[in-house]
Amino acid sequence: MATIERRSPVAFPVRAVRSTKIGHWTVVQQYTNEGEGPWLIDLSHHPRWDLQDADIRRCKPFPVNVPVDPGTCTLDRGLLVNRMNRTQCSIWHLLGDTPQPPADPVCTETTDATALMALAGGKVFAITEKLTNLDLTDPGPKPPFLLQGPFCHVACQLVIAQRRDLDGTLLLACSRGYGQDMAHAILQAGEEFDLRPAGEDQWRNLLKQIQNERSERF
Amino acid sequence: MKRLAGLPTLRVNSARAVSIEYDGKRFHGVEGDTVATLLYANGTRIFSRSLKYHRPRGLYSLDGQSSNTYVDVDDIPNVCAENTFVGNGMRVEPQNVLGTPEHDWMAFMDKLSWAMPAGFYYTIFHKPARLWPIAVRHIRKTAGLGSLSPDVELRGRFDQIYPAADVCIIGAGPAGMSAALAAAAQKLRVILLESRPWLGGYFDYRTRNHKPGMPLYLRGRQLADQLEQAPNIRIFKHTAVIGCYSNNLITAFQRGSEADCFAERYVQIRAESVVVATGCIERPLLFENNDRPGIMQIGCAHRLARTWGVLAGEQAVFSIGHDLGIEAAIDLHDLGLSIACVADVREDGCDPALPPQLEARNIPFYPGWVAAKAHGRKVLKKVTLTNLSGVCKQQFDCDTLVASAGLTPVTGPLALAGARLEYDAHTGYFLPTGIPQKMHAAGRMLGLEDPTAIELSGRLAGLRAVADCGMAVGATISGVEEELAKLPGPARGSKFVVAPVEGKKTFVCFDEDVTIQNIDQAMRLGFDVTELIKRFTSAGTGPGQGGIAGHNLPLYVALTHRSPDLHPRPTTVRPPLVPTLLATYAGTNHPMSKRTPVHASQVAAGGVMERLQPWQRARRFCADTTARAEIENVRTNVGMLDASTLGKFRIFGPDALKALQRVYVSDMARVSTGRMYYSAMCNEDGCVIDDGVATQIAENDYYFTTSTGRAGETSEWIRYHTRYDRWDFHIINLTDAYGVINLAGPNARKVLEKVVDGAVSNEAFPFLGFREFMVHGAIPVRAMRLGFVGELSFELHVPSSYMQSLWDILEEAGEEFAIWNFGLEAQNTLRLEKGHVILGSESEQRTTLHDIGLGFFWHRDKLEAQTVGAVALKQTENDTSRLKLVGFKMEEPAARAPRDGSPIVAERIRGYVCTARYSYALKEPVGMALVEGYLAKNATRLTIFEDDCKGELMKAKVVPMPFYDPTGKRMRM
Amino acid sequence: MLGRGKRLWSRSKRLKSSYDAVIIGGGLHGLATAYFLATRHGMNHVAVVEKRYIGFGGAGRNTAIVRANQRTQENLPLYKEALELWPVLTQELDFNLMFYNCGNLNLAHSEAALKAMRLQVASAQFHGIDSRLIDPKECKELVPALDVSDRLRYPIYGGMYHPPGGIVRHDAVVWGLASGASQKGVDIIQGVAVTGIGVQGGRITSVETDHGTITTPRVLNAAGAYAAAISCEMLGMRLPISVLTIQAMVTQPLKPILHHVISSGTYHCYANQTLKGEVATGAHMDPWPNYTTQCTAHYIKHQAEALTQLLPCLKGVKFMRAWAGLADMTPDMAPIIDGNDPVRGYYLDCGWGYFGFKSCVVTGKYLADFMASGVCPQILRPFTGRRFEQHRLMGETPALVHYSPDN
Amino acid sequence: MALTITCPICGKRSGYEFRFGGEDKGPPPQAAGLTPAAWCDYVHRNNCVAGVQKEWWCHRQGCGTWFSIYRDTTKNLEVAGPQSEDV
């Protein structure tokens, strides 16, 4: 009998060591030979929403604040809220659980609209500069911040979550249909830096780091 | 040939030997050799033959400014031997010769030059007319340099990089290095681009003192060390700048070394500020046979010895116009080159310290003298020198002539970025004026010659770039400006000199074999603009572009005119500044296409995939190209189509309905919950651009679909057409969020009811209904009863991550009916039988809603909505002369269907077949065509002109549509 | 012999005070019209006024491709005659225009493209023009360097082969026509800019230039990309035109490898090998209006990506020179040829986009008829600028139009 | 040439991220009584200014906003204008 499964648009050409079930998703915790980084991590199973309203600052579908300026982000209790323009935010749930979807009609669930990946570790921005002419190392904005623009020719949302010189963590969301080719292009560009696919465990560690770093700063 | 060893300036490693195969023989050199230096060290003097006259050509500039040393390397033609490092096992072949460069059977062409004046090809071979087609074949064969095999594959990896920078500096000579250090001191992100494999520029090979005890080359290395240690400077060596565009976009390419994981990579930089410190190249001296092998520029002879340890010859004559020439003569003498004499085109003005040094070495010095003629059939044997008036002459035996008129600045990047070049009488340079904002020039290209001044001008430019980045360095800038003012300014350049010549082979352009006589000829014919002379004679249009001709051509033209109001104007510089491999421009060129959520299983099921805009979709699953089995399965049983590429949108907010009314032709106020509503969008010409269905989800909240091709543009379209209204509505593109399965066929309901949690009977879920179900209690599905293929069918929209599971579940549930895939080809025939249009297939750019018979969807009363296209729909609604969409069948049912796109003719072309297929359901071909209005009436005969029909027209007749199930009961059952 | 020859055209910058006709623009269309006015209608009291130098604009910047496989029957006869004129004109001008009849191969990368080609091919055949559909194998036979495998991002489904087409040396046409017109008495005035057009009582009376006023009853606006701006500024006549930059480039010269002009709509790319051996290739346009003739980094890269897909062996070849020209695009990719409407004596020949080269001599011939007689020849009538308000787009492009006329 | 456009949301970006939306001709004219010539004038005809013009752009590869800017068509450079709008 056909099983009910949710599938990511991204499949890595490596063997999984350990996986868990989250809802109908099979999430790989760890792949073989993940190496020391940089890593490419598929986060497509993390729930995401689109929030739009003429007066967006008044919206509170989640108990977190909407960032004030377009291009800025807030990361609070595992929810990353990215201000896209005057009336719109994307919201990415980055923890491992499944939160209750908001009932507010200003929210649209968009988990399946995009592929979401994290590119993290050493020399991450040496990899990205091979794929985009967007300036991800601009010292101006402080992470986390959002850039919307072409990455490997495809319109993407890029969140620079943390950054130290060429090292750091980048979250990338592109149209789901492009997910497979995008992952392939990134892996190919990262070959010279020993970029390898990694699982959710690695992501947990990274998220902890990012959150600690942020609490230190504030 | 013996190599000079132990020189501190050498850039070769004599301890490690390398070798190449050239013209079938093996030659040895040392690590660090280029193909050109290795061959030269082995005695090669003739590297190639020229394009037109097949004259022997040799090493001239060492910087790749002409095709003189172009060779074939590993089957890749037109490789410049001067800047290609030797890799072990390289196979090098000469090109454009019949025989060898030494003995070229085409050499007789040189004797025919009298028959080839400028533009001669415009005046011959066309009479009689039949001569030309024969001549053209021979002309083609003689033209061109290297040859390329159609199946050759370039090896190596090609990559690209878009590094970010605040300040980008072009050129790592003393000025560029100083600029980089100045900018880096302010913690800015600095990028330094250098075309040679090492830093130092023209300091790198010179032993003259910068300061006492500090030779120039050592100073260069000192600066380089500082740069390498600065953490915020990124240095790209062996990187040639190829383009320089407005808003400071710089493009370049880097050659990889053996340690790099790329053969070459394309580099593109957008910088806040740019410093151009590209220095100078030498300008060729014009005299008879100035292209003979053995004649070379100063830097060529000097660097050959100092950088590669190769002496250019045994006995040399120098005919120069710059102190660098005298310096080189002294240095090369000391390294062992015998020098017959040094002629200087300048009568005065050389550094007074230099002539005594020549005298000390017994080298005769002739100020105000210049080379007039080179002798020697293939390579140089002797030289005639003359004074400038041509009265006195003297001949010298030599195998090397170092010939150089002076310097000319490398202004390519500035000119490409929009600077104008003006002739400056003092320096004799074309100096850049009107340099774009946030762009600065520095160093030797400004005419500076004092090493300290050059470094300081670099520092100044670096600081100005810092100021461009918004940092307060004004005071420092003033300080440097004052300091620079105290140092020597731009030096006086040598005059433009054409040696008194009696012969005819004084080349302005080597690549295209253009002589000064050709320029004269062009001017006599009325070509008086340099740009036109360039086109007519093709001077400067060869592989070296303006490198050889750039300076001399405009000056020669101005000189010949002798008109005081005529300023010398250089010809336009065009990118790329350096010839660049297509592979390098192309880079990795990642293929980016979209896959549907069931892509893998569609492929596994034997789907023949094709690209449909960004998507990959299955055209068919059976071997038969007409997809008969798939069609019949849908008509009689049940099939599944992956329709995930359909555009899907949510629009909500107080003004959502207004926005829909603006773009859809129908009255969208009629869109209600639980039902699907079909409508179309037009452009301002009233031409149909899209169709789809919409439903209401909640108050002010709609879900609608668009065609695949419009999915990417619909949000933009709606926002564009409401841009003056400031309405409050929100759109989300959900195209990728939902997969779509079209479950179609008389057994579709039997399959669906097995898996969903709600009633799907015709009563509970009628035609055009919209329902939300759960499949197996877990998968949320938006279901629509639509009838595109003309059977009972359900369009199931499911979150993409569940799509594969739903597909598998339906396949399993349909197993008892032998449910099967169908693809786009089957869908095309199925919908054709129903007379349903596909926009772009049954419409073209100029087809209105009326033309395809869908005018009734337009609600003319909603004037206040200002529907896009409504004005044009009103203006065209009674126009009977337009092309109309009709259905047709063949007059003989046994005839085959005409091919898509075939014109319909009656004296002239009256329309064309949009789609026609054999209908297995009706057992005869059916089709749709766009035809002139007068042919649109029922039963009218259409005569179809197929390609290659040899006058045999096919005959069809107009019939009403739909062809299949005209009452539509099958999709309502 | 040319080498010792006389000037090809007069040097004079001196304008006479009146002419029977003034042609704005010393490009191909202006020169061709002047030539035919002088040779076919004896109207040689004509001035061609050029702001820069002859052939400065599109005439010297196109990639010299000629063909007659247009889509619509309004265009087909015109381009057919144009093709036939090259050899004739070569003899008439006694100037080798170097028509290289290599044939054109247009590639299809989808079923839909094949269908669109079928219409073009059959329409051409109906008009007696040789053009046929061929399969990928035949494409490969014609162009051995072509990759017809399915490694291509957009594999080749077939092609439209059009043997009568080819390339013509574009500069030669400029110089040949200028020389021919000049010999018949036409004044070719370079370096003079038109600054105004005088109209009285709905008739053309004069042309103002920066070198003085010329009285004339007839003006032809053949200013190429600048035609629309001139029309708008000097006569208040706005035109349905957008001026876009289009780019082309050549590789270093090679021995013959491409024996046909090849093109691909999907890859936005065409290529041919010039008689000099350079592979000349052209691209897509920057999709916003501008009057700069600067190149872009974006498109030379795009062009390399496209060409190395279609012809992988060209990876090892180097681009040597890129340049840009202007294309005056209309919404339906067909030109605007008009006269005496609404101003008597004002003639318009513009909106050629990137087809201006192929059509220049034939258009000049019929425009000369038009200007000499005042009556529009039948063949030019469909090109009236009124067609846009009559909702009669020409249909030269099958594609759906975008919401802005500039795309 | 390397056009940059300043998006009111995302800042200065490469021109190729945007879609050009035509000369700014103001809102469409009222449909009632509109002659074909007047309609055509609004829809198809352009000023083709060789100089500075106000025009619409959409940041299609970025935030998706439509906005207007001023640009010099003879230099292909964005210039400062009296005001710009976005929707």
pLDDT digits (tens, 9 = 90+) for B121-179: 888 888 898 999 999 999 998 889 999 999 998 999 999 999 999 999 999 999 999 99
Cβ contacts below 8 Å, chain A against chain D, sum to 30
User: Under an 8 A CB cutoff, do B145 and C276 touch?
Assistant: no
State how far the Cα of B933 lies from the Cα of B886, in Å rounded to an integer.
10
C130 plus C180 within the same structural domain: no
CATH topology of domain B287-404: FAD/NAD(P)-binding domain (3.50.50)
State how far the Cα of B690 lies from the Cα of B649, in Å rounded to an integer.
14
Give the residue on C whose Cα is nearest the Cα of D24: C404
Measured between CA atoms, how close is A134 to chain D, in angstroms?
Answer: 8
Domain boundary among C329, C344, C363: C329
Q: Where are the alpha helices (DSSP H) in chain D?
A: 36-43
Question: Residue C407: pLDDT above 50?
Answer: no
Chain D stretch 14-43, residues whose beta carbon is closer than 8 A to a beta carbon of chain C: 14-16, 19-22, 36-37, 39-41, 43
CATH number of the structural domain B13-110: 3.10.20.440
pLDDT score recorded for residue C164: 97
Q: Are strands C279-289 and C269-273 parallel, antiparallel or unpaired?
A: antiparallel
What pLDDT digit, counting tens, does each position of B270-316 carry?
999 999 999 999 999 999 999 999 999 999 999 999 999 999 999 99
Do B792 and B749 form a contact (C-beta atoms < 8 A)? yes
pLDDT score recorded for residue D87: 60
Chain B stretch 426-455, residues whose beta carbon is closer than 8 A to a beta carbon of chain D: none
pLDDT score recorded for residue C102: 95
State how far the Cα of C99 lies from the Cα of B129, in Å rounded to an integer.
11
C314 plus C290 within the same structural domain: yes
pLDDT score recorded for residue C402: 38
Question: Residue B936: pLDDT above 50?
Answer: yes
Average pLDDT over residues B948-960: 95
R_g of chain A, CA atoms, integer Å: 17
Question: Residue C193: pLDDT above 90?
Answer: yes
Question: Residue A85: pLDDT above 80?
Answer: yes
Closest-CA residue to B740 (of A181, A177, C154, A109): A177
What pLDDT digit, counting tens, does each position of B619-662 carry?
999 999 999 999 999 999 999 999 999 999 999 999 999 999 99
Give the residue on B whose Cα is nearest the Cα of D36: B875
Higher pLDDT, B557 or A98: B557
Q: How confident is the model at residue C405 (pLDDT cuts 50, 70, 90)?
A: very low
Average pLDDT over residues B671-684: 96
Interface predicted TM-score (ipTM): 0.96
What pLDDT digit, counting tens, does each position of B599-608 carry?
999 999 999 9
> Domain B158-280+409-485 in CATH: superfamily?
FAD/NAD(P)-binding domain (3.50.50.60)
C48 plus C196 within the same structural domain: yes
Residue C222, domain CATH: 3.50.50.60
Average pLDDT over residues C63-69: 93
Chain A residues in contact with D10 (beta carbon < 8 A): 70-71, 147-149
Select from C126, C313, C318 the residue whose CB has the most chain B CBs within 10 Å, as the one to mutate to test that interface. C318
Domain assignment present for C33 = yes
Higher pLDDT, B504 or B968: B968
State how far the Cα of C119 lies from the Cα of C109, in Å rounded to an integer.
16
A43 and chain B in contact, CB less than 8 A: no
Which residue in B246, B247, B871 is closest to D34 by CB distance? B871
User: Under an 8 A CB cutoff, do B77 and C55 touch?
Assistant: no
Domain assignment present for C24 = yes
User: 3-state SS string over B409-461?
Assistant: ECCHHHHHHCCEEEEECCCCEEEEECCCCCEEECHHHHCCCCHHHHHHHHHHH
pLDDT score recorded for residue B565: 56
Q: Could you tell me the two tokens for C208?
A: 């103002």
Average pLDDT over residues B902-914: 96
Measured between CA atoms, how close is B246 to chain D, in angstroms?
Answer: 5
Question: Residue B563: pLDDT above 80?
Answer: no
User: Under an 8 A CB cutoff, do D44 and C232 touch?
Assistant: no
The residue type of B95 is Q
Residue C121 sits in which domain range?
104-163+242-329
Do B69 and B94 form a contact (C-beta atoms < 8 A)? no
Domains of chain D: 1-22+40-87 (3.30.2270.10)
CA B382 remoteness from chain centre: 46
Measured from the Cβ of residue C399, the count of other Cβ atoms closer than 10 Å reads 11
Identify whether B576 is preceded by a cis peptide bond (ω within 30 of 0). yes
Strands (E), B526-607: 580-581
Chain D residues in contact with A155 (beta carbon < 8 A): 60-62
Q: How confident is the model at residue B113 (pLDDT cuts 50, 70, 90)?
A: confident
Domain assignment present for C198 = yes
R_g of chain B, CA atoms, integer Å: 38
In total, chain C counts a number of residues equal to: 407
pLDDT score recorded for residue B222: 97
Select from D19, D63, D66, D86 the residue whose CB has the most chain A CBs within 10 Å, as the one to mutate to test that interface. D63
Closest-CA residue to A52 (of D68, B715, B704): B715
Domain count for chain C, please give it.
2
What percent of chain B has pLDDT above 90?
A: 90
Select from B590, B713, B808 the residue whose CB has the most chain A CBs within 10 Å, as the one to mutate to test that interface. B590
C262 plus C233 within the same structural domain: no
Class level of CATH domain A16-218: alpha beta
Q: How confident is the model at residue C284 (pLDDT cuts 50, 70, 90)?
A: confident
Measured between CA atoms, how close is A150 to chain D, in angstroms?
Answer: 6
User: Under an 8 A CB cutoff, do B246 and D14 touch?
Assistant: no
Q: How confident is the model at residue B496 (pLDDT cuts 50, 70, 90)?
A: confident
Question: Residue B561: pLDDT above 80?
Answer: no
Q: How confident is the model at residue B569 (pLDDT cuts 50, 70, 90)?
A: confident
Closest-CA residue to B422 (of B446, B439, B404, B457): B446
Which residue in D2, D46, D74 is closest to C291 by CB distance? D74
State how far the Cα of B780 lies from the Cα of B772, in Å rounded to an integer.
7
Domain assignment present for C88 = no
Domains B599-644+737-831 and B647-733 share a fold: no
Assess if CATH 3.30.70.1400 describes domain B647-733. Answer: yes
Do B410 and B139 form a contact (C-beta atoms < 8 A)? no
Question: Residue C4: pLDDT above 60?
Answer: no
CATH topology of domain B599-644+737-831: Gyrase A; domain 2 (3.30.1360)
What pLDDT digit, counting tens, does each position of C11-60 carry?
766 789 999 999 999 999 999 999 999 999 999 999 999 999 999 999 99
Q: How confident is the model at residue C406 (pLDDT cuts 50, 70, 90)?
A: very low
Q: How confident is the model at residue B566 (pLDDT cuts 50, 70, 90)?
A: low
Measured between CA atoms, how close is C336 to chain D, in angstroms?
Answer: 13
Average pLDDT over residues B787-792: 95
User: Under an 8 A CB cutoff, do A24 and B802 touch?
Assistant: yes
User: Under an 8 A CB cutoff, do C389 and D1 touch?
Assistant: no
C274 plus C324 within the same structural domain: yes
User: For B498, phi and psi rounded to 5 degrees?
Assistant: -110, 115
Average pLDDT over residues C77-98: 96
pLDDT score recorded for residue B123: 87
User: Under an 8 A CB cutoff, do C389 and D40 touch?
Assistant: yes
Domain ranges across chain B: 13-110, 158-280+409-485, 287-404, 507-579, 599-644+737-831, 647-733, 880-973
Question: Residue D70: pLDDT above 50?
Answer: yes
What pLDDT digit, counting tens, does each position of A178-215 carry?
999 999 999 999 999 999 999 999 999 999 999 888 66
Question: Residue B562: pLDDT above 90?
Answer: no
CATH number of the structural domain B880-973: 2.40.30.110
**B485, exposed or middle or buried, with CB in 10 Å at 0-12, 13-18, 19+?**
exposed
Question: Residue A47: pLDDT above 70?
Answer: yes
Question: Residue B804: pLDDT above 90?
Answer: yes
